[in-house]
Homo-oligomer: A and B are copies of this chain.
Amino acid sequence: MKLPVSTEWLLHCATSLAQLKPGDTASAAQLAQYYDLPAAYLAKQLQALVRAGVLSATTGPRGGFRLARPASEITLLQIVEAVDGTSSPYECREIRQQGRGALSPDECRNPCILAEKMAEAHEAWRLSLAATSLAEIIAALPPSAPPRTRRRLTGAP
Contact = CB atoms under 8 A, between A and B. Distances in A.
Contact of A95 (B8, B91, B124, B140): B8
Contact of A93 (B5, B16, B127, B140): B5
Chain A interface: which size bin? 35 or more
B121 A129 contact: yes
Contacts of A11: 114, 118
B8 A114 contact: yes
User: Which one of A37, A101, A122, A137 has the highest number of Cβ atoms from chain B below 10 Å of its Cβ?
Assistant: A101
A44 interface: no
A69 interface: no
Nearest to A79: B114
Contacts of A76: 114, 117-118, 121
A79 to B, nearest CB: 10
Closest 6 CB pairs of A and B: A36-B99, A121-B128, A125-B125, A34-B101, A36-B98, A124-B128
Interface of A: 1-3, 5, 7-9, 11-12, 15-16, 33-37, 76, 84, 89-93, 95-96, 98-101, 113-114, 117-118, 120-122, 124-125, 127-129, 132, 137, 140-141, 149, 152-153, 155
14 contacts: A2-B91, A5-B93, A8-B93, A33-B99, A34-B100, A35-B98, A35-B101, A36-B99, A76-B117, A76-B121, A121-B125, A121-B128, A124-B128, A125-B125
